[in-house]
Amino acid sequence: MSDLHLRTATPSDALPVLAFWRVAAEGTSISDDRAGVERLIARDPGALLLAERDGDLVGTVIAGFDGWRCHLYRLAVHPDVRRQGVATALLDAAERRFTALGGRRGDAMVLERNERAQHAWSAAGYTRESRWRRWTKPLTS
């Protein structure tokens, strides 16, 4: 298998990324649409990291930094290439990005029911914060 290539997403990647997430990611989000992905890329051009092999998208992670906290979302690896170092490479790149920006701690959003993801995050050195719960509220325009 050829080498893995990592790069940041461009606006033209929005639709391919959305299609990839339908295959490789767990669940959906309110911003899982073309406008949401394009807004992410415009707001923080280095946040959406893509892993490609032989020109095919095989993994993603969103490494968003708001100037205070480092947030990780959408770590997804194509089912055909899992357990081949794609997630590790993406997380290494995300952590380097955070460190370069002055970040001090990464946090990941992981679905409670996604045991595979919980094992992957644990293997990458992340620990569950049992004292926190996420609270959400959809915003209207």
Q: 41, 14 in Cβ contact below 8 A?
A: yes
Examine the pLDDT at 46 and tell me if it is beyond 80: yes
Confidence of residue 40 (pLDDT cuts 50, 70, 90): very high
Confidence of residue 132 (pLDDT cuts 50, 70, 90): confident
Write down the pTM of the prediction: 0.89
Q: Quick one: pLDDT at residue 27?
A: 65
Q: Name 77's bridge partners.
A: 59
Determine the 3-state secondary structure of 64 from DSSP.
strand
Q: 1, 53 in Cβ contact below 8 A?
A: yes
Q: Quick one: pLDDT at residue 1?
A: 45
Instruction: Could you list the beta-strand ranges (E) of the chain.
Output: 4-8, 48-53, 56-65, 70-77, 106-108
Q: Could you tell me the residue ranges of all domains in the chain?
A: 4-123
Q: Domain 4-123 in CATH: superfamily?
A: Gcn5-related N-acetyltransferase (GNAT) (3.40.630.30)
Examine the pLDDT at 6 and tell me if it is beyond 60: yes
